[in-house]
Amino acid sequence: MDNWSLVSMCVLLGLTTRWAVSFNSYSGASKPPMFGDYEAQRHWQEVAYNLPVHEWYLNTTDNNLSYWGLDYPPLTAYHSLLCAYVAKLINPAWVELHTSRGYESSSHKLFMRTTVLIADILLYIPAVFLYCFYLSNGSSKKKVATALCILLYPGLILIDYGHFQYNNVSLGLALWGVVGLGSGWDLLGSLAFTLALNYKQMELYHSLPFFCYLLGKCIKQGLVGRGLFLLLKISLSVLATFALCWLPFLSEPQQVLQVLHRLFPVARGLFEDKVANTWCSLNVLIKIKTLILTHFCIAFSLALTFLFVLPSSIKLLTKPTMWQFKLALVNSSLAFFLFSFQVHEKSILLPALPVCLLMNELPLMATWFLLVSTFRLRRAFRTVTKICGAVLLARNKSNLSLCDLSLSAVTETALFLPFVQFGISMAAMAVLSTASAALEPPARLPDLFPVLVSIFSCMHFLASLLYFNFVQLTEPPSRRGQKKTN
Amino acid sequence: MASPMNSDSGWFLALALGVSFIKCLLINAYHSTDFEVHRNWLAVTHSMPVSKWYYEATSEWTLDYPPFFAWFEYGLSHVAAYFDKEMLVVRNLNYASPATVLFQRLSVIVTDVVFIYAIKEFNSWSCAIYRCCKCLREDKGKELLWKPSFILATLLLWNFGLIIVDHIHFQYNGFLFGVLLLSVARHFQSKTDGSVHWKSFSPFRFVVLGSIVLTTFALSFGPFIALGQIPQVLSRLFPFKRGLCHAYWAPNVWALYNIVDKVLSMLGVKLGMLDINKLPKATMTGGLVQEFQHTVLPSVSPLVTLICTLLSILPALFHMWYRPSGGRGFLRCIVICALGSFMFGWHVHEKAILMAILPLSWLAVEHREDARTFLILSTTGHFSLFPLLFTAQELPIKILLMLLFTIFSFTSLKKLFRGRLVSSVEATYLLGLIPLAVICELVYPLTPWHHTLPFIPLLLTSIYCALGVTYSFIRLYISLLTVPSTTSKGKCQ
């Protein structure tokens, strides 16, 4: 009886926070000619509604790809189409071909924000609660507390409801995938993940663990017999899902290539803007972006990424348990984030989601990582309040389960990570935030603060990568909070 | 599971920080004309000499709070200078730069610290009283979420009405209520028995009390008495020309009186007993703030409202005088006086319901009957605040926060007192708020009458809530007169 009231209060709190953040401005507001991600999403609705499917990814007179051309897989386009139908009912001017470019109004903003909220309510939030209630240990109060902490992760809220994106759809689908796999419904889980992949290609960061986990499971069940049967079922369903999503484009191979070309813009270089990964940080010391040729960069980054992803994937293959799976998700996505090509800073959400799932077992490290990831995103006053919110939530949660925290703290301390370092890190973040808000950078180094923040975060991420890899590869025998294996 | 000592102070801080962080998120929400009112007062107190404060009329929003508030605004204006000097220019009407908004919002959030501190003191006073008797309903041994102190702190800190009135609509009620709560808590922290028996009555204590009150008034009004401006100040503080009811009727007795008058006049016209040409047109429902007359029932003057208010609160005052029952009795009296003034006062604003709901929270975690009254009063009272936020963007916020508070208050009090707290009739009445909300917020704006009769949703809300508020008032009186008077030690009921 208590559960439903606690759950509903958590959901209400999560929704309130999201909607309150949406009061603020979105990316590119009042900034012609290009505006920002908000205009991109609106433009995709316009394109999807007015143009036939086979023109969505092509450069035509009606569809100028240099103005926010579609660069996500087809499911995003279908979602935009759905939103466009609703938009047309409310106000056709919002999606009128060509004339609606740069359309901005308070009612349109309300509409767009509502679409994000609905996606949250339908996809992301139920997945979070399902995960917490069925795949995590502890009392029901602890599960609700975990769910609340995940729901209040500032990074996702700021990007989706502030900047404006639909990460909750792809992350929600990926989480459904995790829930499916954890509950033993491998087929549904892989289906959900395939849909996530078809929504945003960045989900490739998560694909290796999914693949290794399922393959490992098939191998365990015996590659001649049940295992093989399972493997075939999964492969067929994945292929079928892909085929279904890409159906309109399968008529010509040219189409498929064009879409792939849009999804993976290798011509754009090693990185753009300030992102807290190794390449951007290294660039400060050695200008690798200009010194080394593009195809060399691609090869180098590919090699390094796979180097860091390999140990975790192999371990998962040999031991396909949920605990290993979650750690592998973290390690894989973090490795991709740090070493891959054309990474955007928002991709930090991809490691952040699996880290949220580790909140129960490794509360300190998880909270630390999530705070750094949020800190990295934007240094506005709002971010500061969100960070505080996250901190107090973590604290509150740790208050509710003090003995669990102390036990994992013991484990974590054994790995040489005391609370003191956490405190120093938090203090440094506070100083950097205040400095970048209050002080003017010296004229010679106008980008001083963003670069400092970037490097600071990158150091933390590298340390996290090593730590989580260590935890995964040296899994202690009596792991408290081990998930039920299936 | 209850955690060790860490959580005892930790949870309060977490609650306070949590609600402050929600308040920070609401910085960019809609703000009403009250925002401009307070900006104007900052400007007036900063730029004008004291002698002009109550005469300044460049803006329509003249200073209509007593002098201490003016001094408070004066103090704030010095901090405001660091944010944006332009907001302190009186001629800059409706000036709302981002820095201005940030400053004003932050001032409410920061002054709420007084409120938070007051709640903490209040809680520790209640706990002190708990400890001196062996009660069943103790804090110890209970899960954190269902401890009375936790429930009370949440009901006060996260009060829906306070959040939307202070941090969206824009006012300083939290700070002011904190001062009130502190005075009550301090008063009872000094002695365990709040009663003043005739035997212990001493002229000395009376003189001391009297002189404290007089000194405070002197400090506040002193400068204006010296300047001979008292009539002007009083006319600003008590603008009787504004009419019996505000543009949006507060859900009190006069709202019911108005609607009965309207129904009777319509019936009278239908039955041919009244001449339609002699009736004043669209007086009370015009949505304007003005004096007006009733048609069938006798018109109500300020004096009548004063007499009614006094009559409504005198029994409670006498009861407290003759049968004092410590802190609880005093608070009950405060609630009844606040609610009585709300019910019968002249030109009452609907926000005044908070003055009754907030102190009632304490009684609600103490006594089962009060919990029942609290649930009805808070739900209807909070719902009656909905018309304050009429923008589409704020609609989800007010619904989400209202649901959050309502679910929490119902489940926590139910857990505390075990068993049903609302009867079927009461539950039906409260559930009726849902279709009412749907009609007023979603259905009515889509109808053609939305433009011709815009007042209808406000009227419906006002009348429906007035029923609940009146019922709560009666319940409070019944519980006052039937609960046996106890000493402060006898908390266990």
ipTM confidence? 0.88
Which pLDDT score is estimated for A438? 75
Tens of pLDDT, residues B438-449: 999 988 888 888
When pLDDT is averaged across residues B74-83 and rounded to a whole number, the result is: 91
User: A41 in a domain, yes or no?
Assistant: no
Determine whether the interchain pair A396/B10 forms a contact, defined as Cβ–Cβ distance below 8 Å. Answer: yes
Domain count of the fold of chain A = 1
Task: Please answer whether residues A191 and A201 qualify as being in contact, where contact means their C-beta atoms are separated by less than 8 angstroms.
Answer: no
User: A277 in a domain, yes or no?
Assistant: yes
The counts of H helices and E strands in chain B are 19, 0
Instruction: Please list every residue in chain A whose beta carbon sits closer than 8 Å to the beta carbon of residue B145.
Output: 6, 141
Cα–Cα distance list, B331 to B31, B152, B327 (Å): 32, 14, 6
Residue B245 pairs with which residues in a beta bridge? B348
- Give the integer Cα–Cα distance in Å for B331 and B343: 18
Please report how the helices B395-417 and B148-157 are oriented relative to each other, as an axis angle in degrees rounded to 10.
160
Determine whether the interchain pair B4/A396 forms a contact, defined as Cβ–Cβ distance below 8 Å. Answer: no
Determine whether the interchain pair A12/B404 forms a contact, defined as Cβ–Cβ distance below 8 Å. Answer: yes
Percent of chain B's residues with pLDDT above 90:
30
Residue B195: pLDDT band by 50, 70, 90 thresholds?
A: very low
Q: How far is B331 from chain A (nearest CA, A)?
A: 30
Instruction: Please list every residue in chain B whose beta carbon sits closer than 8 Å to the beta carbon of residue A381.
Output: 24, 102
User: A93 in a domain, yes or no?
Assistant: no
Q: Does A3 touch chain B (CB under 8 A)?
A: no
Determine whether the interchain pair A382/B24 forms a contact, defined as Cβ–Cβ distance below 8 Å. Answer: yes
Which residue did the predictor score with more confidence, B63 or A312?
A312
Residue B21: pLDDT band by 50, 70, 90 thresholds?
A: confident
Instruction: Please list every residue in chain A whose beta carbon sits closer than 8 Å to the beta carbon of residue B404.
Output: 9, 12-13, 16
Residue B165 pLDDT greater than 90, yes or no: yes
User: A422 in a domain, yes or no?
Assistant: no
Cα–Cα distance list, A447 to A163, A432, B276 (Å): 21, 13, 76
Closest chain A CA to residue B400: A12
User: A259 in a domain, yes or no?
Assistant: no
Which pLDDT score is estimated for A296? 79
Cα–Cα distance list, A228 to A117, A180, A312, B219 (Å): 41, 20, 24, 89
Q: Which domain holds residue A312?
A: 265-395+447-473
Residue B133: pLDDT band by 50, 70, 90 thresholds?
A: very low
Q: Please give chain A's pLDDT, 486 residues, in tens.
A: 478 999 999 999 999 999 998 988 888 888 888 888 999 999 999 999 999 998 898 888 888 888 888 989 999 999 999 999 999 999 999 998 888 888 889 999 999 999 999 999 999 999 999 999 999 888 888 888 889 889 988 889 989 998 889 999 999 999 999 999 999 999 999 999 999 999 999 999 999 999 999 999 999 888 788 888 889 999 999 999 999 999 988 888 888 888 888 888 766 666 766 677 787 777 777 776 667 777 777 788 889 899 999 999 999 999 999 999 999 999 999 999 999 888 888 899 999 999 999 988 888 888 888 888 888 766 454 555 566 566 656 555 554 443 344 444 444 444 445 677 888 888 888 888 778 777 787 888 777 888 888 888 899 999 999 999 999 998 754 444 444 443
User: A374 in a domain, yes or no?
Assistant: yes
Nearest to A402 among B4, B11, B143 (CB): B4
Tens of pLDDT, residues B344-381: 988 888 899 999 999 999 889 888 999 999 999 999 99
- Give the integer Cα–Cα distance in Å for A135 and A148: 15
Residue B50 pLDDT greater than 80, yes or no: yes
Which pLDDT score is estimated for A486? 37
Which pLDDT score is estimated for A352? 94
User: A387 in a domain, yes or no?
Assistant: yes
Mutate one of B105, B400, B414 to test the A interface: name it (highest A CB count within 10 A).
Answer: B400
HEC letters along B276-312:
HHHCCCCCHHHCCCCCCCCCCCCCCCHHHHHHHHHHH
Which pLDDT score is estimated for B436? 94
Residue A271 pairs with which residues in a beta bridge? A343
Token pair, residue A296, equals 């060399």
Token pair, residue A308, equals 């860091």
CA end-to-end distance (rounded Å), chain A? 29
Q: Does A139 touch chain B (CB under 8 A)?
A: yes
Q: Does A20 touch chain B (CB under 8 A)?
A: yes
Residue B149 pLDDT greater than 50, yes or no: yes
Report chain B's mean pLDDT, rounded to a whole number: 83
The counts of H helices and E strands in chain A are 22, 0
Tens of pLDDT, residues B241-296: 677 777 788 898 988 988 888 888 888 888 877 766 666 655 555 555 555 677 77
User: A294 in a domain, yes or no?
Assistant: yes
Instruction: Please list every residue in chain A whose beta carbon sits closer than 8 Å to the beta carbon of residue B396.
Output: 15, 19, 117
Token pair, residue B119, equals 């709640």
Which pLDDT score is estimated for A30? 82
Which residue did the predictor score with more confidence, A380 or B106?
B106
- Give the integer Cα–Cα distance in Å for B4 and A283: 49
Token pair, residue B420, equals 């049903």
